[in-house]
Structure 1
Amino acid sequence: MARFICELKGHTDDVNCCSFSDTYVATCSLDKTIRVYSLKDFKELSFSPLKGHTYAVHWCCFAPDKPVLASCSTDGKTILWSMHNGQMLAVLEQPSGSPVRVCRYSSNSNYLATGGADGSIVLWNVQQMKFYRSATVKDGSIVACAFSPHGNLLITGSSCGDLTAWDDSLKCLYNEKGHDLGVTCCDFSSQTLTERGTEYYQMASCGQDNEIRVWLISFSDALGFEMRCQLTLGEHSSPVLSCAFSNDGQILVSGSVDKSVIIYTVKTGIILHILTHHTRYVTTCALAPKHPLLATGSMDKTATIWKLGHSDDIPDFPDENRIHMHVETWSEEKVATWLSQEGLNEVEHIFKANNIDGKELLHLTKDSLLRDLKIESLGLRNKLVRRIEDLKGGAKAELPNIPNEFLCPITWELMTDPVIASDGYSYERKAIEDWMSRKKRTSPMTNLPLENLLLTPNRTLKMALNHWLERQKPSDSNQMTPHR
């Protein structure tokens, strides 16, 4: 489901936000800079980093229909940058001078909303580069905001936990306590739903209460405003700092203080994948509008790019920016190169001394790293295990055209030990055991109660899976024999 592509290591402090356009990905940081990379090869653009803020940069976002990037900062300013040359196009100062925590464009790029630490929300006329309207929430700072797909509705989230709905004139339509202890992020799906003739927006919010909530929102002159919670996701063990929808509205991604990124299906809330690449809090996640790409950023000072699904429409990237997934064929030298790319140079000599090639690498565990390779640092061993697990997940994603029946419906990964649960569906044993161990007594597929927790090995599926894997191996008879 998710394959590691590359790690962006340019920042010298926490990464606060990632944002995609059709051709670029941008990151901003506590180090006061914004960095911009091309989606063709993930090389940093010649005019990057962008320097103009005098304090931490909290958020950045691309205009939907023009090559312009907006960034906002503790310095109370929102800067618009040209993506042609990196030049400043405008500097918008929050009227109160308050630190700006978030900025978002409307879908047609006519307006830019900026949210302040003093609770102020400001709408800017983008064409005229000037102030349009402002309002203030009752309590707390504005830390999140998002426009509906039609641009006629703005939702803001505050540090005190309120979600507030505004029309395009900043008239307050609705206010509700969305999350105890505070909202941290919100995002609209670009796709709408229709129920009984009424069109609904889907919006996700997350907060300090460790939860993500998916809301259904309708707004029209005839019917007024309605907002109700459709789904609550509580899989993270710590505050959730970021959430984002895919462009097709089918996938929701979240990042948390627990250092993990979780990918869900929006319709059922089933977990498709859990990423544990980052070593500190995950502060941001973003999905590309026209590519199956995910960006995650962290307080570990890095941003990571992932490819989602099994599609082949992402170009190959230069060796220094990607992980080649035929890991079992790696030589000892290639393993050493990989360690260097991952910032693990300190263990290169240990791996070389023990002749660790690709096949050996995939079989390393936390115990064998300590017992056989004498790596005593727990943090270093944990980091190595996470990187190896990323490789294993990426290797699975390389298999072409995997039949759906061979993929676990919980993880969307190729099964190795399929079992049948009492709902009649087959799952990877570890995935369904983990599901049930979190005190879930419902079917991941139907959401109905499971009759019992018995798991029966699916030997027929296992046999079919093994036959299919055998057919994927290159045949010796198809290999050309050189002429003598």
Structure 2
Amino acid sequence: MVTLVQTLTDHTDDVNCCAFSSAYLASCSLDKTIRLYLLKDFSELPFSPLKGHSYGVHSCCFSSCGRYLASSSTDGMTVLWNPQFGEKLATLKQPSESPVRVCKFSHDSNYLISGAADGTVALWDVRLKKLRRTGAVEDGSVIACDFSPGGNHFVTGSTSGELTVWDCQMKCLLNLKTAHDLGVTCCEFSTQPINGGINSGSQCFLLASCGQDNKINLWILSPEDATGCELRMRCSLNRHTAPVLSCCFSPDGQILVSGSVDKSIMIWNPTSGAPLYILTQHKRYVTACAFARNLPLIATGSMDKTVNIWRIGSENNSGNELLGKFRCSVQHWSEDEVCSWLSAEELQELVVVFKSNNIDGQELLNLTKENLENDLKVESLGLRNKALRKIEELKAKLESICIGVPDEFLCPISRDIMTDPVIASDGYSYEREAIESWINTKKRTSPMTNKPLESSLITPNRTLKMAIDRWIEAQQVLQMPANQGCN
């Protein structure tokens, strides 16, 4: 089930892009502004809109650490903002001074790409706020780009229909001239690596590209060696009846969303290629779509000047309807994302304290009254109580995502539905990633008993995995047509 929960009508011209951080939603427009909203209630921040461009804003994106918001414009500038306070941190001038059509951060937040109308590509050092390298495509404007999850490559798409793969030294590794007839409009990687490389066991990545040919093409990017890669077509999705302008993957890679000139939003299963839902509430072209990082929310933007917020699954039955497709990822928050959450919850007084004590998501969820008073030295009783109340609300929200799921299917550490359950030496089952991180950081103590683990050895729990898979299949809400396979 997909439900429209909010329509934002603050922009006065076409909405070109939407982006989520862990605490905020950003949208940008031809009206020259970027608007920022709190995720908890979609209220606009007091310092919004951001007005730093002299022409229309084409693209906006958050860094994964949550510290930066970038925006790019026809004025030839890419601006770095502090999203917590709305201050401008830097103005990055495209070397060619051509209109900048797209920008995207690397997954480690160290780099930023900006692509321009004259085909130039600039790679920026975010920390130093300086140009690192430049390159250019052979033909057309660069209007799409994204970094691979591994961070070693990025892809650009151009109006000539080309997809180009680069390394972080701006060396062109591959150029596919016929990716889309009439031009590429968007490209985005799934954050989840997949198997299927040329070399056995090599890590590959799934890329979706959209085009003026009405298609969404799914590609597999396979690193061949240190200096090369292969980009091969997996399948093509052909249900839109007009050019496809935008696409995005869910955080777990299990769902793909696309927006089109046909005014529709389509929600897909990227594994099978099956369309799951078609949404038609926008009145003009759908130019933008984005998934929230920690919540089952989608934002879509349109030339009708609105941003729609959609929820996948109902609030009262989210455990059954999400079926593990969205992992509760608060425990994986960085220190910066915790600070963004504090600001969003009007706990700005604690930002410096939490930052200086390196409080990340896992530590946030484990904080107690004693920790706040004795370890973090928060003297104000009212502030301590407010912080504890907000943490408990956050925990309750996470638990609500797992209502109806058998408890033995949930990882004791993360409380997520396990996708790769393993048995530790204490006899309990955990999600592999969670227990490996625990062992590496918690001195090999059992998360369940707090006693020392006899060894760090973990073994796959195939019986439990089969049970989880059967339960998900039996409870499946998002049915896929049997004749729509994507091979």
Q: Is the 8 A contact 2:251 2:293 kept in 1?
A: yes
Mapping of residues 363-402 of structure 1, within 5 Å: none
Tell me the equivalent position of 1:42.
Answer: 42
Q: Is the 8 A contact 1:271 1:410 kept in 2?
A: no
TM superposition shift of 1:407:
6.7
TM superposition shift of 1:218:
1.2
Tell me the equivalent position of 1:229.
Answer: 233
Q: Is the 8 A contact 1:92 1:130 kept in 2?
A: yes
Higher alpha-carbon Rg: 1
Deviation string, structure 1 residues 14-48 (Cα, Å, up to 9, x no partner):
00000000110000000000000000100000110
Q: Secondary structure at the match of 1:51?
A: coil
Letter in 1 for 2:118: D
Letter in 1 for 2:194: L
TM superposition shift of 1:198:
2.1
Deviation string, structure 1 residues 235-258 (Cα, Å, up to 9, x no partner):
000000001111100110000000
Q: Is the 8 A contact 2:274 2:485 kept in 1?
A: no
Distance 1:20 1:266 in 2: 21
Tell me the equivalent position of 2:54.
Answer: 54
Which of 246, 249, 252 is 1:245 aligned to?
249
Tell me the equivalent position of 2:290.
Answer: 286
Q: Secondary structure at the match of 1:80?
A: strand
Letter in 2 for 1:152: N
How high is the TM-score relative to the length of structure 1?
0.66
Tell me the equivalent position of 2:260.
Answer: 256
Q: Secondary structure at the match of 1:199?
A: coil
Tell me the equivalent position of 1:169.
Answer: 169
Distance 1:252 1:217 in 2: 17
Mapping of residues 146-157 of structure 1, within 5 Å: 146-157=146-157
Distance 1:447 1:216 in 2: 13
Q: Is the 8 A contact 1:252 1:265 kept in 2?
A: yes
TM superposition shift of 1:151:
1.1
Letter in 2 for 1:107: H
Mapping of residues 235-384 of structure 1, within 5 Å: 235-310=239-314
Distance 2:140 2:90 in 1: 28
Mapping of residues 100-111 of structure 1, within 5 Å: 100-111=100-111
TM superposition shift of 1:223:
8.1
TM superposition shift of 1:289:
1.4
TM superposition shift of 1:64:
0.7
Distance 1:447 1:69 in 2: 35
Deviation string, structure 1 residues 430-449 (Cα, Å, up to 9, x no partner):
xx7xxxxxxxxxx347679x
Q: Is the 8 A contact 2:235 2:486 kept in 1?
A: no
How high is the TM-score relative to the length of structure 2?
0.66
Structure 2: unaligned runs, 5 residues or longer: 319-402, 406-471
Tell me the equivalent position of 1:317.
Answer: none
Letter in 2 for 1:61: C
Tell me the equivalent position of 2:180.
Answer: 179
Distance 1:258 1:251 in 2: 20
Deviation string, structure 1 residues 370-410 (Cα, Å, up to 9, x no partner):
xxxxxxxxxxxxxxxxxxxxxxxxxxxxxx96997687754
Distance 1:130 1:301, change over 3 A: same
Q: Is the 8 A contact 2:215 2:237 kept in 1?
A: yes
Q: Is the 8 A contact 1:121 1:142 kept in 2?
A: yes
Letter in 1 for 2:186: C
Distance 1:408 1:90, change over 3 A: closer
Q: Is the 8 A contact 2:115 2:144 kept in 1?
A: yes
Q: Secondary structure at the match of 1:50?
A: coil
Structure 1: unaligned runs, 5 residues or longer: 315-399, 412-431, 433-442, 449-484
Tell me the equivalent position of 1:113.
Answer: 113
Distance 2:273 2:315 in 1: 22
Deviation string, structure 1 residues 404-434 (Cα, Å, up to 9, x no partner):
76877547xxxxxxxxxxxxxxxxxxxx7xx
Distance 1:4 1:173, change over 3 A: same
Distance 1:201 1:234, change over 3 A: same
Letter in 2 for 1:297: G
Letter in 1 for 2:216: I
Q: 1:219 aligned to 2:228?
A: no
Distance 1:239 1:445, change over 3 A: closer
TM superposition shift of 1:279:
0.4
Please give the root-mean-square deviation of Cα atoms over the aligned residues, in Å: 2.2
Distance 1:132 1:309, change over 3 A: same
Tell me the equivalent position of 1:435.
Answer: none
Q: 1:11 aligned to 2:11?
A: yes
Letter in 1 for 2:188: D
Tell me the equivalent position of 1:188.
Answer: 189
Distance 1:102 1:146 in 2: 10
TM superposition shift of 1:222:
5.3
Distance 1:57 1:37 in 2: 17
TM superposition shift of 1:82:
0.7
TM superposition shift of 1:219:
1.5
Q: Secondary structure at the match of 2:290?
A: strand
Matched residue pairs, number? Answer: 334
